[in-house]
Chain A
């Protein structure tokens, strides 16, 4: 059948969710069932650092019931992801293994940037509205329990994304400690948000034109579906939303419970959430608020459909990742022309060497990111540039990359200059999280390969003057022949190229040779 039945599981910090989807080229992504059950994993992790035995049992029971639902729909494939509570628990590996043994489900942990990227994909899966928003200039705010993510776009491509420690639960938790009159709380929350957003505004927002603010997150779904349901749509003018927030902020908790039909727990987070959305709306100056009403499960399904080419997206998500890396490079004042040249050379080498390195498109993406960011550390310290680059990459979230992928990029950048450390190359993340059966050794080799390519590409623009812009490449008789017709001196490049050739040969068993054609 042309329709694939897919299940997405989100093991969240407060709730377990299962979404059942039908994926097809013809009808796109359709959710056909969705179940949720509260489970306070976060409480265990944040209080004790690990998840208790009882909770693991409860989680497994629940996941087994999810399995029953999946069986009912004859689900053909699934993805299960666990976010912060399980990821940060000390005993996460044991827990994941327990789950696998007891339920047969393989659950992967994901970090914030991967998570947000999935949600973002679910938004992009709503193509018509997404394109509409894209055209007009857009920003995306995804509000979570612990933190929020703001993403900015330029010409429809993601250029920057920022995690802010402004989660609705965090805010309502904070406000519960203030001993002030309830009516003052919105004002104080507003001050906190203002402070937090100030930096963001200074660094990222500048003079950007934003007409549509895309708002996602569970709390906005409640606000819209329950509080603004008389509007019967998911696009609101800034004025409408402002008025709604104004009304909401004046309501007592009891009124919110009553009006929104919510339990006390949810009612409590609605006011901080509204203030947060409203403030972001104000600083972006957007005229429209679009609430696509997506969940993480929707994102998991969208990503699966995209990666397995079941549904064709017009949007290029790799471009989003690259462009955020580029704007990061720009922020650290990297040499634009040089960076572009190195990235281009990397791609050329990667393509020419395809038969010999055996790497795929994802690795190519990592290589390009490494190329883009290879010099960013100079911003901090010219002399200790590599270490700084490593530090910056490890400290900066890059949307769409897993922690491990980021580590790979950071290491490639580090060993671009530093001597390669062979078995000493350190990766903190459990490599099996990357793909089944991947070992540390495999990762070492991957890093070595990407490093070898980056080094060579970097050497080809040693003078930062793009002399080899016209070069061509081909592999012949165990040599990678790089030919250029550059008329002037390429002595610096030749010297540097020669230096990197040994390591390249060591890794690929292919000797790179640089040839300058004269008199053409």
Chain B
């Protein structure tokens, strides 16, 4: 193993993960620029690039800054130091932002206008009627919630909140000494940023709230003369890395950190392009931001607002047809879910199929008198989650309910703490995560006492137990009562409760202890088979690929002749198609209407293919610092379905983009080939399957009545 790393571990064989991530955001931007994408979907994609970039700054850029502060000199997988990375990121991000606004200004705005939505860029463009309307709106609704703040020698520079949108003004006291002063007001988050203006011609027009405030800024600083006024926005270091060894009470620690978060160092300043230089200089000094971290924006700040524009009523013709997740054929009968699981393992493919069975699984278990215990790991839960309610109900019904609530789920702590406390109150046994490890696995175990003794029902998934995101993320789940998986599931929860590892695992592989080795052995087996002239192939679908050891082994397998087809949505530190390194590796990324999120792994295994699914990406954090589960899918029909899904994704030539040897991504040449869009195909297939199953069970369609016999 060490020699594989030695052989392929050189930095030049790898791509820096941040730069690869920016490539990913470019691919999303590509969707926003793609003329075949419906207009309003393009707005959505552009909005996603903006929110992604925000998170990227808060987490990744912040982390690099931390490294520099800490004097951390170790180079990354691609041999770059933190400084070098920041420099490279800076250049590329400025480019990306410029492209975002080019897309917005030159492509989308004209098209929107053409299709009946006028976005008023600046208040100067308002018609007199519109101007009167916004002024009235300002006085009635906006003015009361504003807190204007002027800075002078007696009043210090105010705290600017992370990610908040503000207006900065350069002002001069009307009866003063003529000295320029700084004033600011926050664009209130409580009011909608998109303000619709009444129109007479049946078209729609909107203006952003900051423009309305800017237009009325004099009303806020009555004793001042306004020299100039511009919106600005800052981003602070917000990555939480809690030292668990020192935190006495993890819960309190995180609560404390949440309050601290907005006080972090400023790592990005966005300000209108045409802003007064004097104003920029003041902000730069007061917020202590470096020149490279200032982004001058040609357009509205914070493009995540486009999600709101997307949500405007009407314009349905310019949005993707809404899709309703389909019922699961195996469950379309009168039997309860446990009976159906006993018949066969059940594969769930969200959002093509509904997430409802997972919720029902827990709801049913909560009220079933034969159920003894329900155990579940919760990572990110939706607000008002039906799963949480069901768990609380189960505890109320005297069942033993154990829930591991992961408090360390990024940006979600506050949400999770509330649920965790509620569950505890309801009588559930709540574990607040594990020391030093994030519990990322998605597993539910229902223990039921049946005629023949204990039977265990298990749900294993690739996505979180979140009924909202299950409509947007592509994820897979497996419902099974395989006793060996049941035994392993019990062992998982025993380990999560602090007991020793089991003597051996039947079918599951767990990170951080066993999973890495398992993957490496699976890859090495393919390499061995290829060297022995046997068929060898790996198809792996995941969100990110950036683990050095895994990549080195993939290179080795490629050199041995294994066909490796990777479907990696986001970061990919592997270089594809490089002679004598990765000639046999192809990487494609699918960016579609749904967020690709499932992790599926196929190994040829000398003609006896193995299919696994799991919660882990091939990233060091998943393999080394998280509790993750990889599970096999062994039912022949389900394996076929998953292999089919992988094949369709490999054939995608509409939403897939291929990684080129130079690190860029390109859409494949489609000439002579029918277009294949994997997500659309799966939607259609799910509809067809549900229809087919509906026919079978609908008594009215049979035309023959079936008398029931006792």
Contacts of B325 in A (CB 8 A): none
B706 beta carbon closer than 8 Å to chain A: no
B381 beta carbon closer than 8 Å to chain A: no
A229 beta carbon closer than 8 Å to chain B: yes
Chain B, residue nearest A259 (CB): B517
B449 beta carbon closer than 8 Å to chain A: yes
CB of B372 within 8 A of CB of A33, answer no
B524 beta carbon closer than 8 Å to chain A: no
Contacts of B700 in A (CB 8 A): none
Contact of B454 among A65, A73, A226, A229 (CB under 8 A): A73
A261 beta carbon closer than 8 Å to chain B: yes
CB of B372 within 8 A of CB of A225, answer no
Interface stretch, picked from B352-360, B496-504, B534-542, is B496-504
CB of B490 within 8 A of CB of A33, answer yes
CB of A225 within 8 A of CB of B503, answer yes
Contact of A261 among B373, B490, B498, B514 (CB under 8 A): B514
B513 beta carbon closer than 8 Å to chain A: yes
Chain B, residue nearest A222 (CB): B503
Interface residues of A in 195-234 (CB under 8 A from B): 221-222, 225-226, 229
A3 beta carbon closer than 8 Å to chain B: yes
CB of B372 within 8 A of CB of A73, answer yes
Contact of A225 among B373, B400, B454, B504 (CB under 8 A): B504
Chain B's nearest CB lies how many Å from the CB of A61? 11
CB of A36 within 8 A of CB of B500, answer yes
A 259-300 to B, binary, CB cutoff 8 A, 1 in contact else 0: 001000000000000000000000000000000010000000
CB of A37 within 8 A of CB of B503, answer no
CB of B447 within 8 A of CB of A72, answer yes
CA distance A293 to B504 in the complex (A): 11
Interface residues of B in 420-466 (CB under 8 A from A): 429, 447, 449, 452-454
Known contacts A32-B454, A35-B499, A74-B372; A226/B504 CB under 8 A = yes
B397 beta carbon closer than 8 Å to chain A: no
Chain B, residue nearest A221 (CB): B503
B415 beta carbon closer than 8 Å to chain A: no
Chain B's nearest CB lies how many Å from the CB of A506? 54
CA distance A71 to B490 in the complex (A): 15
Chain A, residue nearest B1 (CB): A258
A493 beta carbon closer than 8 Å to chain B: no
B494 beta carbon closer than 8 Å to chain A: yes
CA distance A188 to B502 in the complex (A): 32
Contacts of A74 in B (CB 8 A): 372, 449
Chain A's nearest CB lies how many Å from the CB of B507? 13
Known contacts A37-B498, A72-B373; A32/B453 CB under 8 A = yes
CB of B453 within 8 A of CB of A37, answer no
Contacts of A36 in B (CB 8 A): 499-500
CB of A72 within 8 A of CB of B400, answer yes
Chain B's nearest CB lies how many Å from the CB of A375? 47
Interface residues of B in 368-406 (CB under 8 A from A): 372-373, 400
Contacts of A25 in B (CB 8 A): none
A30 beta carbon closer than 8 Å to chain B: yes
CA distance A293 to B503 in the complex (A): 10
Chain A, residue nearest B449 (CB): A74
Chain A's nearest CB lies how many Å from the CB of B353? 32
Contact of A15 among B372, B500, B514 (CB under 8 A): B500
Chain A's nearest CB lies how many Å from the CB of B396? 16
Contacts of A32 in B (CB 8 A): 453-454
CB of B513 within 8 A of CB of A261, answer yes
CA distance A3 to B372 in the complex (A): 15
CA distance A36 to B490 in the complex (A): 13
Contacts of B490 in A (CB 8 A): 33
B 472-515 to A, binary, CB cutoff 8 A, 1 in contact else 0: 00000000000000000010001001111011100000000110
Known contacts A71-B400, A72-B372; A34/B502 CB under 8 A = yes
Chain A's nearest CB lies how many Å from the CB of B102? 53
Chain A's nearest CB lies how many Å from the CB of B605? 14
CB of B500 within 8 A of CB of A229, answer no
Contact of A27 among B447, B453, B504 (CB under 8 A): B453
A147 beta carbon closer than 8 Å to chain B: no
Chain B's nearest CB lies how many Å from the CB of A304? 17
CA distance A446 to B642 in the complex (A): 71
CA distance A68 to B401 in the complex (A): 11
Q: How large is the interface on B (under 10, 10 to 19, 20 to 34, 35 or more residues)?
A: 20 to 34
Chain B's nearest CB lies how many Å from the CB of A213? 21
CA distance A22 to B483 in the complex (A): 14
CB of A35 within 8 A of CB of B494, answer yes
Chain A's nearest CB lies how many Å from the CB of B448? 11
Chain B's nearest CB lies how many Å from the CB of A264? 14
Interface residues of A in 121-136 (CB under 8 A from B): none
Known contacts A72-B400, A74-B372; A30/B453 CB under 8 A = yes
CA distance A36 to B503 in the complex (A): 10
CA distance A37 to B502 in the complex (A): 11
A391 beta carbon closer than 8 Å to chain B: no
Known contacts A72-B400, A72-B447, A261-B513; A37/B500 CB under 8 A = yes
Contacts of A35 in B (CB 8 A): 494, 497, 499-500
A 54-89 to B, binary, CB cutoff 8 A, 1 in contact else 0: 000000000001001001111000000000000000
CB of B453 within 8 A of CB of A22, answer yes
Contacts of A226 in B (CB 8 A): 503-504
Contacts of B497 in A (CB 8 A): 35, 65
CA distance A493 to B490 in the complex (A): 67
CB of B453 within 8 A of CB of A24, answer yes
A146 beta carbon closer than 8 Å to chain B: no
CA distance A35 to B494 in the complex (A): 7
CB of B504 within 8 A of CB of A229, answer yes
A487 beta carbon closer than 8 Å to chain B: no
CA distance A32 to B456 in the complex (A): 10
A38 beta carbon closer than 8 Å to chain B: yes
Contacts of A229 in B (CB 8 A): 504
CB of B454 within 8 A of CB of A38, answer no
Contacts of B517 in A (CB 8 A): 261
CA distance A317 to B569 in the complex (A): 64
Contacts of B498 in A (CB 8 A): 37
CB of B494 within 8 A of CB of A33, answer yes
Contacts of A27 in B (CB 8 A): 452-453
CA distance A65 to B373 in the complex (A): 15
Chain A, residue nearest B517 (CB): A261
CA distance A3 to B453 in the complex (A): 7
Contacts of B429 in A (CB 8 A): 68
CB of A38 within 8 A of CB of B500, answer yes
CA distance A225 to B501 in the complex (A): 13
Chain A, residue nearest B494 (CB): A35
CA distance A50 to B449 in the complex (A): 42
Interface residues of A in 16-33 (CB under 8 A from B): 22, 24, 27, 30, 32-33
Q: Of A71, A72, A229, A261, which is in contact with the most chain B CB atoms at under 10 Å from its CB?
A: A72
CA distance A24 to B454 in the complex (A): 12
CA distance A73 to B448 in the complex (A): 9
Chain B's nearest CB lies how many Å from the CB of A298? 12
Chain A's nearest CB lies how many Å from the CB of B501? 8
Contacts of A293 in B (CB 8 A): 503
Chain A's nearest CB lies how many Å from the CB of B31? 44
CA distance A73 to B513 in the complex (A): 28
Chain B's nearest CB lies how many Å from the CB of A217? 12
Contacts of A225 in B (CB 8 A): 503-504
CA distance A294 to B266 in the complex (A): 61
Contacts of A3 in B (CB 8 A): 452-453
CA distance A33 to B429 in the complex (A): 18
Chain A, residue nearest B498 (CB): A37
Contacts of B453 in A (CB 8 A): 3, 22, 24, 27, 30, 32
Which 5 residue pairs of A and B lie closest in terms of their CB atoms, listed nearest first? A225-B504, A72-B400, A36-B500, A35-B499, A22-B453
Q: A3-B452, A261-B514 are in contact. List 4 more A-B contacts (CB 8 A).
A: A36-B500, A71-B400, A74-B372, A261-B513
Between-chain CB contacts (< 8 Å), 20 pairs: A3-B452, A3-B453, A24-B453, A27-B453, A30-B453, A32-B453, A32-B454, A34-B494, A35-B497, A37-B498, A37-B500, A68-B400, A71-B400, A72-B400, A73-B447, A73-B454, A225-B504, A226-B504, A229-B504, A261-B514
